[in-house]
């Protein structure tokens, strides 16, 4: 019982991080039909922004973290939208997909070339001690991660559902044409989702890098898990991405512990295939109508 | 029009002649790379059928190359002769492609990309973990090279011509295929599946055929890859190769017959010539892909087409550009 509880909490913690990344992914898809194949690299990169701020500019950890956040929102949000998505989206979904695959390679190689191929330690902002509750031992780190993820998700939901801007963004996602007719500045709303994505990947990066160290290849599997989470939950729902992410983290953890650590990756992939085949809109998703 | 065709003929003849004489004066490693180009081009031609002509994004091509390579490596090291394993490798990939296509083609576009991506990763896990069959991370070594009519293909030069001959055969077969009614149906499928369906094209069957043929060519490429490298392990068949093959096809010009040839030059040969640039090559490659996608989603041949075409009139649809396919997705 204690084992199961421990695995569950640890799974929820990593799952929460997947959820953050997957939310950003689905937001971009909803508002601008951008499928970002570089989303994993987007999570890999902010950790290096922080490391650079600390190593080359000598900032202490907390200010460096803030600098990393600003740079992430500016580069991965604003510049990504202005320089990549805007010029390409008129060609349709596929060229942009290919271009983001190119972007992923570019980011990975740039980090390897300019920062190094090693795995760099990254400071955690939670103590790496354990607490024991009801006979089960939890690491403080995973509890903190889970709390932060829940807080971020709650804040995002409040923003999307409770503020004027958030509702405008939802309208834009649901039907851009009508939104424009209603006087919503659709372009600006789309930009906001890119900025939010920049902030989400920054948070995810700060949470996950202390566990897995900062390495240029981190994006490969992170991106894959984010896709899987987004699709399992439902590509067109923020709620879906949350459920998908948490589910994936838990399943992944239990599969590694009880089934086979060699095939741990296989379980989420099979779930992905089953979900796509039998419920392509995802567990919580809506069916997207197709026009001829 | 006539001038263009003449120019294209001259370029082709020159390229063919170059390929025949190129290995002379190259060191064995150079010949190896050139052979690798031929092998990868075959895989890319297969993907071009699936992506460029039938319009289905597949991220599983590396898995098929891997399956073909492992079948060949496993059986030839067990003492089978080359040709039966070669045919078996290609045919099994065709069959697996067909079987995968059955459920996978219920979904389209980005969903298909994710299903095939998952399939590729699963196959990679099997290569890595099923040691009794694939040798796990230690792989299978000492894969023998075939002999043709009693002539051994052991020397790099002989094996180069062997692979080049395969490339020529595959090209000829594909050339014929895309000009046959089947090829026309593929294009109809890509341009507007619903319209094709309404005109009586059995879209499901043709998509399956295109997908399975692409997979089969992946298997053929793998069956040549194993004796070329003579040692195979799981790493080359990970998702990275699938992405790379996809980039090759798109970079060269998806939906153009010669797109994969050109794409494979950029992805396989150029890195060797630009070795002195080290990691910067890949960055340049990535940038090139991004810039091309921004300005010409039809790839390098799309640029060439635009520069040489006198009027904006389109040539034959079978060899025509893929702009419409790329564009029509956007409307959703």
**Which of A122-131, A171-180, B89-98, B154-163 shows the lowest per-residue confidence on average (mean pLDDT)?**
A122-131
Summarize pLDDT for B258-269 with one digit per residue, the tens: 999 999 998 888
List the single residue in B with minimal CA-CA distance to A34: B330
Measured between beta carbons, the chain B residues lying within 8 angstroms of A33 are 330, 332
Compare CB distances from B327 to A33, A91, A98 and report the shortest one's residue. A91
| For residue B325, pLDDT beyond 80 | no
Confidence of residue B319 (pLDDT cuts 50, 70, 90): very low
| For residue B329, pLDDT beyond 80 | no
Measured between beta carbons, the chain B residues lying within 8 angstroms of A86 are none
The ipTM estimated for the assembled molecules is 0.83
pLDDT of residue B173: 94
pTM beyond 0.80: yes
Confidence of residue B316 (pLDDT cuts 50, 70, 90): very low
| For residue B92, pLDDT beyond 90 | yes
pLDDT of residue B34: 92
Q: In Å, how far are A262, B214, B317 from B202, measured between CA atoms?
A: 42, 18, 19
Do A290 and B332 make contact, defined as CB atoms within 8 angstroms?
Answer: yes
Confidence of residue A135 (pLDDT cuts 50, 70, 90): confident
From B288's Cα to the closest Cα of chain A, the distance in A is: 8
Share of chain A above pLDDT 90, in %: 41
pLDDT of residue B312: 52
- Mutate: best of B289, B302, B322, B327, partner A, most A CBs <10 A: B289
pLDDT of residue B327: 39
Is A224 in the B-facing interface, judged by CB distances under 8 Å? yes
| For residue B224, pLDDT beyond 90 | yes
Q: How much is the average pLDDT of A22-45?
A: 90
SS3 string, chain A, reads: CHHHHHHHHHHHHHHHHHHHHHHHHHHHHHHHCCCCCCHHHHHHHHHHHHHHHHHCCCCCHHHHHHHHHHHHHHHHHHHHHHHHHHHHHHHCHHHHHHHHHHHHHHHHHHHHHHCCCCCECCCCCCCCCEEEECCEEEEHHHHHHHHHHHHHHHHHHHHHHHCHHHHHHHHHHHCHHHHHHCCCCHHHHHHHHHHHHHHHHHHHHHHHHHHHCECCCHHHHHHHHHHHHHHHHCCCCHHHHHHHHHHHHHHHHHHHHHHCCCCCCHHHHHHHHHHHHHCCCCCCCCCCCCCC
pLDDT of residue A288: 61
Q: How much is the average pLDDT of A268-276?
A: 86
| For residue B53, pLDDT beyond 90 | no
Q: How much is the average pLDDT of A59-76?
A: 93
* Higher pLDDT, residue B193 or A119: A119
A2-278 fold: ABC transporter involved in vitamin B12 uptake, BtuC (1.10.3470)
Do A95 and B325 make contact, defined as CB atoms within 8 angstroms?
Answer: no
Q: How much is the average pLDDT of A141-156?
A: 92
pLDDT of residue A12: 93
Q: Tell me which residue has tokens 């894959």.
A: A224
List the single residue in A with minimal CA-CA distance to B56: A94
Highest-pLDDT range among B78-92, B108-122, B130-144, B298-312: B78-92
DSSP string, B9-60: HHHHHHHHHHHHHTTTT--HHHHHHHHHHHHHHHHHHHHHIIIIIT----S-
Domain residues of chain A, as ranges? Answer: 2-278
């Amino acid at each position: 019982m204690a084992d199961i509880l421990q695995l569950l909490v640890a799974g929820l913690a990593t799952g929460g991080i997947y959820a953050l990344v997957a939310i950003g992914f689905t937001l971009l898809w909803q508002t601008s039909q951008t499928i970002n194949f570089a989303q994993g690299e987007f999570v890999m990169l902010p950790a290096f922004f922080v490391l650079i701020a600390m190593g080359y500019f000598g900032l202490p950890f907390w200010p460096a973290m803030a600098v990393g956040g600003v740079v992430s929102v500016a580069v991965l949000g604003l510049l990504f939208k202005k320089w990549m998505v805007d010029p390409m989206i008129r060609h349709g979904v596929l060229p942009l997909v290919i271009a983001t695959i190119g972007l992923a390679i570019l980011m990975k190689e740039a980090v390897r070339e300019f920062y190094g191929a090693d795995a760099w330690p990254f400071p955690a902002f939670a103590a790496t001690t354990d607490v024991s509750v009801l006979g089960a031992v939890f690491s403080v780190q995973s509890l903190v991660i889970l709390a932060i993820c829940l807080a971020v998700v709650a804040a995002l939901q409040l923003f999307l559902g409770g503020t004027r801007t958030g509702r405008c963004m939802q309208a834009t996602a649901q039907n851009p044409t009508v939104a424009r007719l209603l006087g919503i500045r659709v372009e600006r709303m789309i930009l906001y989702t890119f900025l939010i994505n920049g902030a989400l990947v920054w948070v995810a990066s700060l949470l996950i890098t202390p566990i897995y160290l900062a390495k240029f290849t981190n994006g490969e599997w992170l991106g894959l898990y984010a896709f899987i989470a987004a699709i399992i939950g439902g590509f067109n729902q923020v709620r879906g991405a949350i459920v998908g992410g948490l589910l994936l983290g838990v399943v992944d953890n239990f599969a590694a512990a009880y089934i086979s650590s060699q095939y741990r990756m296989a379980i989420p992939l099979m779930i992905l295939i089953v979900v796509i085949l039998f419920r392509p809109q995802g567990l919580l998703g809506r069916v997207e109508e197709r026009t001829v | 029009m006539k001038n263009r065709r003449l120019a294209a003929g001259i370029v082709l003849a020159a390229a063919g002649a170059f390929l025949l004489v190129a290995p002379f004066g190259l060191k064995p490693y150079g010949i190896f790379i050139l052979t690798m180009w031929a092998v990868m081009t075959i895989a890319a031609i297969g993907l071009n059928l699936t992506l460029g002509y039938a319009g289905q994004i597949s991220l599983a091509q590396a898995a098929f190359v891997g399956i073909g390579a492992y079948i060949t490596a496993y059986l030839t090291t067990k003492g089978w002769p080359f040709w039966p394993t070669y045919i078996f490798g290609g045919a099994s990939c065709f069959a697996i492609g067909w079987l995968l296509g059955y459920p996978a083609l219920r979904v389209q576009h980005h969903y298909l990309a994710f299903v095939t991506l998952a399939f590729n990763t699963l196959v990679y896990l099997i290569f890595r973990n099923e040691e009794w069959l694939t040798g796990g991370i230690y792989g299978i070594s000492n894969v023998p090279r075939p002999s043709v009519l009693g002539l051994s293909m052991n020397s790099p030069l002989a094996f180069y011509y062997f692979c080049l001959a395969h490339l020529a055969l595959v090209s000829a077969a594909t050339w014929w295929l895309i000009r046959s009614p089947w090829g026309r149906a593929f294009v109809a499928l890509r341009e507007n599946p619903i319209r094709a369906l309404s005109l009586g094209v059995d879209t499901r069957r043709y998509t399956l055929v295109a997908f399975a043929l692409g997979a089969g060519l992946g298997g053929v490429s793998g069956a040549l890859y194993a004796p070329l490298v003579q040692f195979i392990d799981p790493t080359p068949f990970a998702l990275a190769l699938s992405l790379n093959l996809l980039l090759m096809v798109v970079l060269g010009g998806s939906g153009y017959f010669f797109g994969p040839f050109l794409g494979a030059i950029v992805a396989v040969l150029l890195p060797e010539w630009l070795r002195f640039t080290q990691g910067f090559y890949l960055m340049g490659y990535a940038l090139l892909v991004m810039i091309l996608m921004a300005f010409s989603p039809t790839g390098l041949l799309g640029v060439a087409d635009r520069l040489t075409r006198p009027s904006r009139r389109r040539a034959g649809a079978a060899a025509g550009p893929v702009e419409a396919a790329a564009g029509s997705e956007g409307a959703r």
